[in-house]
Amino acid sequence: MRYHTPSSFEDASALAAAATGVTRFLAGGTDVLVQLRSDLVTPDDLIDIKQIAGVRDITRRDDGSWRIGAAVSGAELAEHEALIAEWPGVVEALELIGSTQIQARCTLVGNLCNGSPAADSVPAMIAAGATVSVVGPEGAREITVEGVPTAPGVTSLGPGEVVSAVNLPPRGKGGGDAYLRFIPRTEMDIAVVGAGVSLSREGDTITAARVALGAVAPTVLLVEEAGAALVGSTLDDAALATLARAAEAACRPISDKRGTVEFRTHVAGVLARRAARIAYDRAGA
């Protein structure tokens, strides 16, 4: 195994593009190291991105949008009050990951690029309308978060492509987001279902909404019908019921040791409703 510490994303990309064996980027390592130790993935090239300048910066741009560096940890995100004020759902989703020790290392980008359909921060990022900045052999591009995962453990990133940052759009007035997951315990578990909701309201009426579901399909889902069910409503019972039905209808889960098809489908509707209520309250606050 070769361990690299490039000082720019271009170098990181070049290293990855030139590598011929199993290659992994190392952000927090909380997926990579676990996979290594349990003999699941033994990389030939391990490319640590943490020496690159700016990877741990959180920046609010003039237009109100945000840039979160690829190596910002859960703990760092959770201490950023201005970000929490605008995107509490994204922050709480990343914060749910693991324990205090894991929080010191885990990142949004690692969570996304690991490709798990149960990744907690991904539904929140998708609901938020987040994008990622990608550096590759062909140059830089920006893609939506929902465009990254393509199957369990697989992403749309091409050979040599590395994510340099997560971008969140301007929150604007009257916006709120929330993420909820269901786990049998209160901590240290993998989402059986996850639901992220982001919405904007004018007065009591919802003007825009995005709903994303985790752990109910091979990839995290952006459920457009669920978002549409909320727009124009005041989050009345009818809207919530339509939302739940749309969420349930979008589910294509598997039955496994963590939950059955019926349970996951039912709980997806429940969590979508509950997350929508929280987002709505936050948007009105």
Partner 1 sequence: MAFDEETNGFKVVGTRPDRPDGIDKVTGRARFGADVTAPGMLHAVIIRSPHAHARIVKINASRAEAANGVKAVVTRADFADGLEGENWNILENLMAGERALYDGHAVAAIAATSSLAARDAARLVEVEYEVLPHVTDVDDAMQEGAPVIREGAADGSVPAGMHPNVVRCHDSGHGDPEEGFAEADLVIEERFTTEATHQGYIEPHACLGTLGPDGRGELWCCTQGHWNVQKVCAALLDVETSKLRVTASEIGGGFGGKTAVFIEPVALALSRKANRPVKLVMPRADVFRATGPTASTSMDVKIGMKKDGTISGASGVFRCQGGAFPGAPMEFTAMCAFAPYALRHVRQIGFDVMTNRPKQAAYRAPGSPMAAFAVESVIDELCNRLGLDPIDVRLKNASREGTKASFGPSWDRIGLVETLEAAKEHPHFSAPLAEGAGRGISCGFWFNHAGETAVQLALSEDGTVQLSVGTPDIGGSRASMCMMAAEELGVPYDDVRTTIADTATLGYNEISHGSRVTYASGLATIEAARDTVKKLCKRAADKWGIDAEAVEWRDGCAIPSGPNAGDFDPMPIKEIASRMGQTGGPIVGHFEATPEGAGVSFATHIVDAEVDRETGATTVTRYTVVQDAGKAIHPSYVEGQYQGGAAQGIGWALNEEYIYDDDGRLQNAGFLDYRIPVASDLPMIDTVIVEVPNPGHPYGVRGVGETSICPPLAAIANAVSNAAGVRMQDLPMRPSRILGALKARS
Ligand X SMILES: Cc1cc2nc3c(=O)[nH]c(=O)nc-3n(C[C@H](O)[C@H](O)[C@H](O)COP(=O)(O)OP(=O)(O)OC[C@H]3O[C@@H](n4cnc5c(N)ncnc54)[C@H](O)[C@@H]3O)c2cc1C
Part of the chain binding partner 1 (CB under 8 A), chosen from 25-33, 196-204, 250-258, 275-283? 250-258
Residue type, 134: V
67, 80, 266, 277: which one binds partner 1 (CB under 8 A): 266
Residue 259 CB, nearest approach to partner 1 (Å): 6
Kindly report the length of the chain.
285
Tokens of 49: 């991105």
Going by C-beta distance under 8 Å and a sequence separation of 6 or more, which residues neighbour residue 123?
93, 179, 194, 195, 196, 212, 213, 214, 220
First to last CA, the chain: 51
Using CB under 8 A as the binding criterion, the count of chain residues that bind partner 1 stands at 19
Residue 162 CB, nearest approach to ligand X (Å): 4
Please tell me whether residue 260 binds partner 1 under the rule CB under 8 A.
yes
**Which neighbouring-strand residues pair with 222?**
212
- 108 vs 246, beta carbon nearer ligand X: 108
- 30 vs 167, beta carbon nearer ligand X: 30
Residue 182 interacts, among ligand X, partner 1, none and using kind-specific CB cut-offs from 5 to 8 Å, with: partner 1
- 32 vs 216, beta carbon nearer ligand X: 32
Residue 173 CB, nearest approach to partner 1 (Å): 32
Please tell me whether residue 259 binds partner 1 under the rule CB under 8 A.
yes
Residue 164 CB, nearest approach to ligand X (Å): 7
Rounded CA-CA distance 25/134 in Å is: 13
User: For 259, which DSSP code?
Assistant: B
- 168 vs 197, beta carbon nearer partner 1: 197
Please tell me whether residue 179 binds partner 1 under the rule CB under 8 A.
no
Rounded CA-CA distance 216/203 in Å is: 33
Residue 84 interacts, among partner 1, ligand X, none and using kind-specific CB cut-offs from 5 to 8 Å, with: none
Q: Which residue has the tokens 């980027």?
A: 25
* Among candidate residues 258, 121, 245, the one with its CA nearest the CA of residue 195: 121
Rounded CA-CA distance 180/91 in Å is: 12
Angle, CA of 99, 223 and 118, to the nearest 5°: 25
Residue nearest to ligand X (CB): 110
User: For 55, which DSSP code?
Assistant: T
Going by C-beta distance under 8 Å and a sequence separation of 6 or more, which residues neighbour residue 193?
181, 182, 213, 214, 215, 216, 259, 264, 267, 268, 271
- 90 vs 163, beta carbon nearer ligand X: 163
Residue type, 67: R
Residues in 185-224 that interact with partner 1 by CB under 8 A? 185-190
Q: Which residue has the tokens 């996304």?
A: 112
Which x/- pattern over 35-64 shows residues binding partner 1 (rule: CB under 8 A)?
----x-------------------------
- 49 vs 145, beta carbon nearer ligand X: 49
Residue 111 CB, nearest approach to ligand X (Å): 3
Residue 120 interacts, among ligand X, partner 1, none and using kind-specific CB cut-offs from 5 to 8 Å, with: ligand X
* Positions in the binding site for partner 1 (CB under 8 A): 39, 182, 184-190, 256-260, 262-263, 266-267, 270
